[in-house]
Amino acid sequence: MAEQLKTEELEMTEKVKGIVDAISSLNVMELVQLVKALEKTFGISGVPIAAAPVGQPSAGAAAPAEKQEEQKQKTFNVVLKDAGPNKLQIIKEIRAILPNLNIKEAKDFVEALPKVVKEGVSEAEAKELKERLEKVGAKVELT
């Protein structure tokens, strides 16, 4: 179980302390609303970003850059090339993959091909998306 840090233990300005105190008084539903509002306002996602452990020597600074380069090579873009004869099924599948699109946006997406469905996804996810779209008759390319 993670230790909770008390606000007195951290060096914070009065403004930050006020915000922390206000957040700590929220119930769970209000916290969910706050997180969604922050994600929307700042265009961020609630997915945690892995940080380097504190106290690691900086001598290996080149190694993380190499790992990033390898990671970039292992990511794919899923490109919808052709919807085929069954556009309605493709639109439904696009909405399932991209739930933030409404029906009109999904229709416009499918009609403006070729389009990138998802960028920078893992090989496994890219293959799974390709399979899902090809199952309903689309032509998909991984780049």
Asked, for residue 59, whether it belongs to a domain, the answer is no
How far apart, in Å, do the first and last CA atoms of the chain sit?
A: 41
pLDDT tens digit at each of 143 positions of the chain: 344 445 445 677 888 888 888 888 888 788 788 888 877 887 776 655 555 555 555 555 555 655 555 555 578 899 999 888 888 999 999 999 888 989 898 899 989 888 899 888 888 888 998 999 999 999 998 88
Please check whether residues 83 and 136 belong to one and the same domain: yes
Q: Does pTM top 0.85 for this prediction?
A: no
- How many independent structural domains does the chain possess? 2
Asked, for residue 78, whether it belongs to a domain, the answer is yes
64: nearest Cα among 81, 76, 52, 49: 52
User: HSE (CB half, 13 Å, CA atoms) of 70?
Assistant: 6
Q: Are 20 and 31 in contact (CB under 8 A)?
A: no
Residue 108's domain spans which residues?
73-142
Q: Which CATH number fits the domain that encloses residue 125?
A: 3.30.1390.10
